[in-house]
Structure 1
Amino acid sequence: MEIRYCPIPTLSSNLKALTSLNISDNKEATSFPEEMFKSLANLKYLNISHFKNLKELHTSLASLNALKSLKIQWCCALESIPEEGVKGLTSLTELIVKFCKMLKCLPEGLQHLTALTRLKIWGCPEVFKRCEKGIGEDWHKIAHIPNLEIYY
């Protein structure tokens, strides 16, 4: 399912079978509705992109137990990915964060995601510094991930 150029909808509980969601190109939203992800138990792929004013992701992200791939791209105002939102993503194998220039750090729970095999971070200057191999403040959160791509 693809949602573009419109206000963030309240997703129906009838979407339990939905496996892929691409939501993008919203210039007004600063956050997602609290219940946004709770009815998407079978979602495997989530792409959030081009949200100009999105400052936070809701902790309801944690209800996406089947999620394998999470891509957050071009969310220039995003400051954090909630630790509580990451804890439940036990099936996550791929996390891609691109051009989220205001992102300060990676969530603490990331080191507990043992299925995570690929992390790609591009264009996130603060996170880039914190992920420096062996010495960065966030290195302990990602050291277990076999495929790392971290670029300024």
Structure 2
Amino acid sequence: MPNLKGMLGREVQGTASTLWVFSRLQSLLFVNCPMLTLPLPTMSSLKRLYIDSCPNMAWASISNLTSLNSFTIRYIKGLSCFPEEMLQNLSLLQSLKILKMKDLRALPRSLASLAVLKVLDIEGCPKLKSLPEEGLRGLASLHELHIKECYNLVSLSMGTKALKSLTHLSITWSNATALPEEVKHFPALQVLDLRHFPNLTSLPDWFGDHLTSLQHLTLGVCPKLETLPSSIQMMMTLRSLTIRYCYLLGLRCERGGEEWHKIKHIPYLKIE
């Protein structure tokens, strides 16, 4: 809808609150609406919001949607940062996905207001170099963090120490030469997925000492990775190890190889 500027709201005057036409709406998607500039009305029942290719959205007005459970933003060209107000008041938000934002350089500190957020997906943000330290401190309920195609995101920030409930972490398509140091602060981590790390040469020595709850580890397309940390032998909680297209490491991890003694205690092994 190339000419759509906003949503038509019908106000009922003389009441304590404003009643809108969309008072029962639960799911709302905006796709390819370049002229959408007017603030979103208050919609007290809205649970799901999806915005794709709407570069002129009135981002601050999203704070009016206080019942949101799921919020996805995708393909917004030219936007380097969001206003701090955008995430304020979204106290019920459980899933936030920020996808294919090629100009995004920073996430708002107001992430910290998302007290019940469980899933955070960040994908296709090549200019993003770190996560906001203040913004992560409020995410004590976060269970899943997925980072994809954020090639220059080499640091997760020390704010990740607050992520005591994180059980799933995936990082794919990264130029990092090492696993971010902050990963050691995830005591509840059960699933770790690392794929498409062309420059990764090794995993840190602290790997097995700190990730004491890890059950499933996947390493994929890490062509320079040759060895596993010795501490992996002490990871008695590890139930599965999958190694895909890590040509140097894969050969060394086969039965009888140089790395075999480190992983032979793991019940499920898959090496491709």
Pairwise same-fold verdict (TM > 0.5): yes
Could you tell me whether the CA contact under 8 Å between 2:63 and 2:87 is conserved in 1? Answer: no
Is 1:123 the counterpart of 2:167? The answer is no
Equivalent AA in structure 2 for residue 72 of structure 1:
I
Is 1:43 the counterpart of 2:87? The answer is no
Count residues in correspondence: 146
Distance in structure 2 (CA, Å) of the matches to 1:4 and 1:95: 21
CA deviation profile, 1:82-109 (whole Å, cap 9, x unmatched): 1111110011000000000121211212
The alpha carbon displacement at 1:145 in A equals 1.4
Distance 1:14 1:52, change over 3 A: same
Distance 1:143 1:125, change over 3 A: farther
- Alignment partner of 1:104 out of 143, 154, 162: 154
Distance in structure 2 (CA, Å) of the matches to 1:37 and 1:113: 19
SS at match of 2:86: coil
Equivalent AA in structure 2 for residue 49 of structure 1:
L
- Alignment partner of 2:110 out of 35, 41, 60: 60
SS at match of 2:152: coil
Aligned to 1:23: 73
Q: Which moved more, 1:50-59 or 1:100-109?
A: 100-109
Is 1:76 the counterpart of 2:126? The answer is yes
Distance in structure 2 (CA, Å) of the matches to 1:36 and 1:115: 25
Aligned to 1:89: 139
The alpha carbon displacement at 1:73 in A equals 0.3
SS at match of 1:96: strand
Distance in structure 2 (CA, Å) of the matches to 1:103 and 1:113: 18
Distance in structure 1 (CA, Å) of the matches to 2:186 and 2:83: 29
Distance in structure 2 (CA, Å) of the matches to 1:125 and 1:12: 33
Equivalent AA in structure 2 for residue 148 of structure 1:
L
Aligned to 2:51: 3
Could you tell me whether the CA contact under 8 Å between 1:76 and 1:100 is conserved in 2? Answer: yes
Relative to the length of structure 2, the TM-score reads: 0.51
Distance 1:130 1:41, change over 3 A: same
Aligned to 2:184: 140
SS at match of 1:10: helix
- Alignment partner of 1:150 out of 163, 175, 194: 194
More contact order relative to length (CA 8 Å, sep ≥ 6): 1
Question: What RMSD in Å do the two structures reach over aligned CA positions?
Answer: 1.6
Distance in structure 1 (CA, Å) of the matches to 2:131 and 2:80: 13
Structure 1, unpaired ranges of 5+: none
Distance in structure 2 (CA, Å) of the matches to 1:13 and 1:137: 34
Structure 2, unpaired ranges of 5+: 1-48, 198-272
